Amino acid sequence: MKTEQLIVQYLYSNKKVTLQDIGVFSITSDIHIPEDSDKDIVLPVDSIKFLYDPKAPVDDGLVAYIMETTRKIKPLAYSDLESFIILNKQFLNIGKPLVFEGMGTLQKTQIGDYSFTQAATSHVINEEMPKLITEKLKEKVTFATPQKEKNNGNNKTAVWVLLAVIILGAALAAAYFMNTNKKDVAVVNDINAATVDTLPGKQTADTTTLNADTAAETAQQNVNDSNSFYIVIKEFSNFAAADKSLTKLTSYGNKLVLTTKDSITYKMRMAFMKPITDTSRIKDSLSKFFQVKAYVELP
């Protein structure tokens, strides 16, 4: 049965029906669907009225009626109604009227709302429920558990295979990351062993006893002209933060120095006596090791 027929039937039985974003139709209580469905009935003037409402909500009663009549689940019944309304609103927008047989005709006016013209007669077909549903209702009800297919062996095999693949993948990933981390640590250890120890450890750690400018200038003078390049690990905007970070990192055995040119920006860097061609490899290793974005600086 078409959606528009269900809407008309629901109007006659419920006396009121709402179409979402369109409006509300109502029919006088003395109009009923005749027992003889092949017989037309004359509709008195103004027996069916329409109230335009562009914000009309979904009619839950209409959705329930569609479910009951068509034996569809609620999402499908709602989808059918929504599709009907959206499609016919598009037709109304281009000037095509929406005709409800046995109810009337809906048209869009020039000012953008909808006008309704009642039909003179009504011929509403009150169809019976589908026979397929009736036959199902007569079927014998059984509470016996359906016999399961004998494929437990195949299912168990598939589960074990999947589990083995997951474990193997996890093991390979762990081995890869552990190997990568070991390589980075080894490279950094080699780098620390090969760096130029430009400042005595005590001088670097005890810079709190010096003026910020004096400490930075001393470090800068000691490394000038004695290294191929530097790798800048971090930059700081004040000496206190720079000195604190330097003290912490050098306590782990890292050979770092603190320098500044303007007493505004302090650079914590590592000096190298290596070929310039090694800058990219060393910079990448230090970036990974210190979890920073290091960069190369030439003397």
Domain residue extents for the chain: 3-137, 192-297
Taking residues 116-132, report their average pLDDT: 64
Q: How far apart are CA 261 and CA 67, in angstroms?
A: 81
Q: For 39-76, how does the pLDDT look when each residue is reduced to its tens digit (9 = 90+)?
A: 677 888 888 999 999 999 999 999 999 999 999 999 99
Taking residues 155-163, report their average pLDDT: 85
Backbone angles phi, psi at 94, to 5 degrees: -100, 10
The edge-to-edge listing of strands for the beta sheet with 104-108 is 98-100, 104-108, 114-118
CA distances from 64 to 58, 75, 110, 131 (A): 11, 11, 34, 20
pTM over 0.85: no
| CA nearest to 290, candidates 265, 254, 259, 258 | 254
Q: Is 184 or 205 the better-scoring residue by pLDDT?
A: 184
CA distances from 218 to 102, 162, 199, 271 (A): 101, 63, 9, 15
Q: How far apart are CA 82 and CA 66, in angstroms?
A: 12
Tell whether domain 192-297 is in CATH 3.10.105.10.
no
Q: How far apart are CA 226 and CA 220, in angstroms?
A: 11
